[in-house]
Each structure stands twice: as C-alpha cells, then as structure tokens.
Amino acid sequence: MPSAKYEIRRKCEECGAVFIAKTLESHYCSKACTQKAYNKRKAENKKREQMDAILSTVPNGRDYISVAEAEAMFGISGKTIRRMIKSGKVSAINLGERLTRVSKSALLSMVPLRDFPIDHSKSLPKFYSLEPEDCYTIGEISKKFGINDSTVYAHIRKYSIPTRQIGNYVYAPKSEIDNLYKDVVKI
Ligand SMILES: [Zn+2]
C-alpha cells in the first residue's frame, strides 16, 4: 500500500503551536497540552455542576439573592457583582458580613443568563445533499487532498460520512469532506 502523501497541520488548541497531527482527532501538540486541556475541562465541568446545584436551590419568588446565587444564575464573577453594587447599578441589601443580597430583577434587566452548554446528543440530525454536483467522487477527493483511495474510504467509514454510488463512482458530500480535511495539506 502506498504511504500517505499528506499531513495534518493544526494549531494546538491549548498552546497555539502549529504541529503535525497524527490523526484527524489530534487537537493538541503534546501529552502535556492534552493533560492541561483535560484538567481545564474537568475543572470547568465541576464548577458548572456546583453552579447548577446552587441554582436549583434558588427559590422562585425571592428577589434578593446571594452573590453565589447570582454567580450561578448569570455566570459572572462575585467581583463583577460587587462592583455593580458599589457603583449603584444594581440594588442590594447587606444582612451582615459576607451576607450581601442582590436584586435578581435588577440583574435580569442588565445581564444575560449564564450560557448553558448545548447538549449535542440532542441536536438535530444533519441533512446532506447527495446530488452529484454537491459531491466529490472518491478519486476527486484523493487527488484534491493527496490522500490515497483506501485511506479516503477508511476515513469515510470511520467518520460515518454518507456516500452514494452511481455506476462505478462513489460520491461523498463536498461540505463534509472539506470539513474533514480542512487541516490536511499535501506534501
Ligand atoms: Zn500545545
């Protein structure tokens, strides 16, 4: 089998360095960056879970909420909330040391609610055009990206890219293929 005449050049999503990705799924330049990104994601998830837990205990009818509750609701830092209180942008009451309560309705009128992560498992199915004019043949893909036919077939199966056969030709949607190989360069 001929060796691949292509490489995948990517920017490391952690440190920004350009590196040669070993596979289409490689997004980091090194083990250290993979680990760093993993730790970051884990910390973010934990923080999100904590905020979700706090949020679920905020009673609906109460306007004055704690700074921690406001953080959980709006995803802004306690520092920012305190600054808004200090400058008089939002009304607050002080029930004692570290017992500041801030007006939920005032914040609602100024700050968007915290972003909740999109659940991709529930996203709508994609629709592809498999009309020949919207597709490449396997041969065209191979030529365009410098990847041999069998590797193209392997990727198509691996990434579940839809195909259509007309006569002797197998077609795959241009949009999916361009996206799959966007970082691939011929060498
Ligand atoms: Zn890196």
Q: How far is the CA of 37 from the centre of ligand 1 (A)?
A: 9
Q: How far is the CA of 23 from the centre of ligand 1 (A)?
A: 15
Q: How far is the CA of 145 from the centre of ligand 1 (A)?
A: 25
Q: How far is the CA of 177 from the centre of ligand 1 (A)?
A: 26
Q: How far is the CA of 30 from the centre of ligand 1 (A)?
A: 6
Asked if the model's pLDDT at residue 2 lies above 60, the reply is: no
What Å distances lie between residue 41 and 10, 21, 29, 45, 83, CA to CA? 20, 21, 17, 6, 28
Q: How far is the CA of 142 from the centre of ligand 1 (A)?
A: 30
Rg (the chain; Cα; Å): 25
Asked if the model's pLDDT at residue 39 lies above 80, the reply is: yes
Averaged pLDDT, 57-81: 90
Q: How far is the CA of 22 from the centre of ligand 1 (A)?
A: 14
Q: How far is the CA of 7 from the centre of ligand 1 (A)?
A: 18
Q: Are 163 and 137 in contact (CB under 8 A)?
A: no
Cα–Cα dist 91/47, whole Å? 27
Q: How far is the CA of 153 from the centre of ligand 1 (A)?
A: 30
Q: Which of 116, 89, 99, 98 is nearest to 64 (CA)?
A: 99
Percent of the chain as helix, strand, coil, to the nearest 5 = 40, 20, 40
Q: Which of 30, 6, 3, 2 is nearest to 16 (CA)?
A: 30
- Between 1.10.10, 1.10.150, 1.10.20, 1.10.3470, what CATH number should domain 132-186 receive? 1.10.10
Asked if the model's pLDDT at residue 64 lies above 90, the reply is: yes
pLDDT for residue 128:
82
pLDDT for residue 120:
57
pLDDT for residue 60:
81
Per the prediction, the chain carries an average pLDDT of: 89
pLDDT for residue 114:
84
Band (143; pLDDT cuts 50, 70, 90) = very high
Q: Using one digit for the tens of pLDDT, what is the confidence trace for 101-141?
A: 999 999 999 888 887 766 655 556 677 899 999 999 999 99
